[in-house]
Amino acid sequence: MTRDTLSITDNRTGQNYELPVTDGTIRAIDLRQIKVSEEDFGLMAYDPAYLNTASCRSTITYIDGDRSILRYRGYPIEQLAEHATFLEVAYLLAEGELPTREQLSRWEEDVRYHTYVHTNVIKFLTGFRYDAHPMGMLLGTVGALSTFYPDAKNISDAENRYTQRVRLMAKLPTIAAFAFRHSRGLPYEFPRNDLDYIANFVNMTFSIGGKHEPNKVLQRALEILLILHADHEQNCSTSAVRSVGSSHVDPFSAVSAGIAALYGPLHGGANEAVLKMLDQIQSKADVPKFVEQVKQGKGRLMGFGHRVYKSYDPRAKLIKRTADEVFEQTGLNPKLEIALELERIALEDDYFISRRLYPNVDFYSGLIYQAMGYPSDYFTVLFAIGRLPGWLAQWAEMLGDKEQKIARPRQVYVGEDERQFVPIDQR
Ligand code: SDX
């Protein structure tokens, strides 16, 4: 009968150890018993960037990187993108079940009720330079919201956590839309409670003189994109929210840490970097030259590759399909031709095949956002609106996990041994 254990022989001492294997993992703390002497601290696992470290047990999102599978609470992303609304998915991620009609309408009503921000937030936003990056504005403003809601510190109270979740879901689109208006020098368009979540966000962003002709196809396409971005297990920004949240700070501060991580070009900032890359390539004819430069290590093919997906990102497939519907409304984005050629060449080239590099969620999303009228520096803001429900669900799961405590990794010290202070005139 096979035993779910790992037998380890420490050749330094000849000692044998038996470690339990659970869910395909050993507990790193079980390594500490492996010592060369009584005063030895014991073995640790060394894993820079946590390439092979599970930080938690989660029931929220399941990814199979080899089989291009992504499920939220067990539901395939393809079905949620086709049938669900974004607020329905946000409810599912947080509560673990799809809402009944009554639960959904209460959730929608609660969110609709909280879409306004304190007028001081507007003063705060107008303080940014005219050309401030909207992600920097979002990062600063969401963090500042913690000063408007000091009750949010009471994270141990479930009702209070729900209130803060509603406030963040309701106010992030308002702040995002105001950041857009700020960059255009336009007066802010305030939330309208007669519109649904997506229509309200689009109206606050694009309406002129209170008028914006809604395009239902584009609004549904935006909603699908938000659904596809809603959660993705322990990605960089979610890990940031969990880690910062583990200090028991309020959720506004923890989410602002997630926004900061998402801002980076290797993570959520990649959709903006893809458009910059396509602008740099300029034409389809220039694609082979660009690919050669990437293969020589001169830069990366932005929107390609993934830590977990070593196959086609299932979201990229759905986004590509959504792109066709959007371009029918807006006219073809000329950069799509370059992107399709890039994908065609990369998927045939051994450099990318051998490294299992495929288009990820960011490769095509920017083309759609641009066709919808968003500037490239705003794409990651849209990613943040999509990812917010995932951050909030993961934050709550971390708080409720009895095994979790404040995140505080260890290190391997490779610096100087003890040495004496040297007075400045002897240095
Ligand atoms: C997101 O984690 C998530 O779930 C993230 C996300 C989410 O929903 O939260 O899916 C969203 O962030 C998608 C990723 C967006 N980023 C990009 O598109 C930026 C370009 N991609 C890469 O920088 C990279 O692929 C990462 C950051 C996404 C993944 O990096 P890894 O897993 O650490 O891989 P690596 O850097 O160790 O690369 C392995 C090899 C290296 O080559 P060698 O050193 O072995 O020769 O692959 C090469 C890399 O140079 N490589 C690339 C490449 N990505 C990796 N070469 C060219 N172009 C690329 N895009």
Domain containing 298 — which CATH number?
1.10.230.10
- Domain presence at residue 119: yes
Q: Is 394 in the pocket of ligand 1 (CB under 6 A)?
A: no
Q: What is the pLDDT of residue 334?
A: 84
Q: What is the pLDDT of residue 205?
A: 97
Q: How many CA atoms lie within 13 Å of 269's alpha carbon, on the beta-carbon side?
A: 14
Predicted confidence (pLDDT) per residue in 29-50, tens digit: 999 999 999 999 999 999 999 9
Residues of the chain under the 50 pLDDT cut = none
CB atoms within 10 A of CB 90: 27
Q: What is the pLDDT of residue 338?
A: 94
> Looking at the structure, do residues 354 and 379 belong to the same domain, yes or no?
no
Q: What is the pLDDT of residue 282?
A: 87
> Which residues participate in catalysis according to the annotation?
267, 306, 362
Residue count of the chain, please give it: 427
> For the whole model, what pTM was predicted?
0.95
Beta bridge pairs of residue 76:
71
Torsion angle, alpha carbons of 104, 110, 112, 114, to 10: -150
In this structure, the residue with its CA closest to atom 12 of ligand 1 is 267
Q: Find where tokens 């065609």 sit.
A: 344
Which of 111, 116, 220 is CA-nearest to residue 178? 116
CB atoms within 10 A of CB 268: 28
Residue 365, both tokens? 């999303």
> Looking at the structure, do residues 213 and 100 belong to the same domain, yes or no?
yes
Report CA(14)–ligand 1 centroid distance (Å): 41
> Looking at the structure, do residues 301 and 329 belong to the same domain, yes or no?
yes
Residues above pLDDT 70, as percent of the chain = 100
Contacts of 145 (CB under 8 A, 6+ apart): 117, 121, 167, 168, 171, 252
- Which of 306, 313, 358, 391 most suits a substitution to test ligand 1, by most atoms within 8 Å of the C-beta? 306
Q: What is the pLDDT of residue 2?
A: 72
Report CA(41)–ligand 1 centroid distance (Å): 35
Q: What is the pLDDT of residue 332?
A: 86
> Looking at the structure, do residues 362 and 232 belong to the same domain, yes or no?
no
> Looking at the structure, do residues 174 and 100 belong to the same domain, yes or no?
yes
Q: Is 357 in the pocket of ligand 1 (CB under 6 A)?
A: yes
Residue 283, both tokens? 């034409």
Q: Three-state SS for 8?
A: strand
| Tally of structural domains, the chain | 2
Residue 386, both tokens? 């999509």
Report CA(221)–ligand 1 centroid distance (Å): 26
In this structure, the residue with its CA closest to atom 11 of ligand 1 is 267
> Looking at the structure, do residues 277 and 261 belong to the same domain, yes or no?
no
Largest CA distance in the chain: 79
Report CA(291)–ligand 1 centroid distance (Å): 16
Which of 161, 195, 168, 189 is CA-nearest to residue 177? 189
Q: What is the pLDDT of residue 1?
A: 63
In this structure, the residue with its CA closest to atom 18 of ligand 1 is 303
d(CA 250, CA 130): 30
The CA–CA distances, whole Å, from 139 to 39, 154, 172, 242 equal 46, 22, 10, 17
> Looking at the structure, do residues 136 and 257 belong to the same domain, yes or no?
yes
Q: Three-state SS for 141?
A: helix
Contacts of 19 (CB under 8 A, 6+ apart): 5, 6, 8, 26, 27, 30, 31
> Looking at the structure, do residues 245 and 105 belong to the same domain, yes or no?
yes
Q: How many CA atoms lie within 13 Å of 256's alpha carbon, on the beta-carbon side?
A: 17
- Domain presence at residue 407: no
> Looking at the structure, do residues 289 and 227 belong to the same domain, yes or no?
no
Residue 351, both tokens? 């450099």
- Domain presence at residue 118: yes
Q: Three-state SS for 231?
A: coil
In this structure, the residue with its CA closest to atom 9 of ligand 1 is 235
Range(s) of the domain holding residue 284 = 270-308+320-372
Q: Is 71 in the pocket of ligand 1 (CB under 6 A)?
A: no
Radius of gyration of the chain (CA): 24
